[in-house]
Each structure stands twice: as structure tokens, then as C-alpha cells.
Amino acid sequence: MIKTTPLQNALLAALLGSVALVGCKKKEETADNNSAPAATTPAEAPAPMTGAPPPMAASAVAVSAVTVGKTAAADKSVTTAALFAPKDDVIVSVKTDGAANNVTVGAKLTFQDGQVAGEQNATLNTSGAETTNITFKNANGWPAGKYRAEVMVDGKAAGTPQEFEVK
């Protein structure tokens, strides 16, 4: 199942609406190219745009590092951990560079059998280097096995996936 944000839904609705308008455009009648041009009337002012804003350019935020660990320091730094106990929190720390508003940074944990063990998003408003930590908790304990943490920025894979194990 693919999760979408309200912004993505709005952009999709705007795109589909514009395609529908273009498809419904009345075909103009063609006339003999040698005849005199028809009288023209002043053009009507275009209607104000409603609905979603036009699509934005690709995100200006890049992932510079992904770290998976158990605890975060006051500066949000996380020490890498490859081995976790079933009751440990799993923190996916994402360091980014760049400036942008309303950027979605997401993390997904996948179990060794391909099952998604958790997926979360955070909204980022930044004007430079930033660290975003996404914490996963499992009240029942994490099943033993190997996991993979993947990071996305605005729904697109970013950074290097990290692997860890629960014993």
C-alpha cells in the first residue's frame, strides 16, 4: 500500500483536472489559409486559478547520512547500532542538507521476509543542515531477525539503506 500526503493528493487532483480540461477543449474549425482573417474580438481575461498550486520543483533537500541506533543525544546525534534487543526503540536518524519548506522525510523498517515493520513521516522546514530522528517503538517487542531501514524524501528513496538485527 502506498501512502500519500495531502499535498501529493492535491497535486494529482490538479493534474487530472488539467488533463480533463485539455481533453474537453473544443476543436477550432479550420478555414482556407488563403482567405482573409476573420474579425477578432478582444480576448477574455483568464479565470483565476483555483484548486491546488502548480507542482513544485524537485526537493532542494539531500540526505547526507542515515544512522540507525537505540538512543539520541541532545544534538539528535545517534550512535550506530547493528544489534538490538526486542524491547529497544529503533531510531532512524536522517541528516539532511539544503533549504526547503514542507519537505516530507520518511523512514520505513522492513523485516527480513519483506513485511513492513513500521513506516513514519516527518515534515521538515529547514534552511540548512538538519538532523531528523524518527523513532519506532514496538510494545510487544521486535521479532528476532534482520531488518532494513530505508529513508525517503518526498516519497523518493534517499540515502543509503541501513541494516540491523534484533536478537
pLDDT in tens, 64-93: 999 999 999 998 989 888 899 999 999 999
Give the neighbor-by-neighbor strand order of the sheet with 145-153.
83-84, 156-166, 145-153, 100-111, 116-126
CB count in 10 Å sphere of residue 68: 23
Specify whether the CB–CB gap between 117 and 142 falls below 8 A. Answer: yes
Mean pLDDT check: name the lowest of 4-8, 78-82, 161-165: 4-8
SS (HEC) of the chain:
CCCCCHHHHHHHHHHHHHHHHHHCCCCCCCCCCCCCCCCCCCCCCCCCCCCCCCCCCCCCEEEEEEEEECCECCCCCECCCCEECCCCCEEEEEEEEECEEEEEEEEEEEECCCCEEEEEEEEEEECCCEEEEEEECCCCCCCCEEEEEEEEECCEEEEEEEEEEEC
The per-residue pLDDT for 166 is 96
Which residues make beta-bridge pairs with 92?
68, 134
Give mean pLDDT, residues 138-160. 95
The per-residue pLDDT for 82 is 86
Q: Is the pLDDT of residue 18 over 70?
A: no
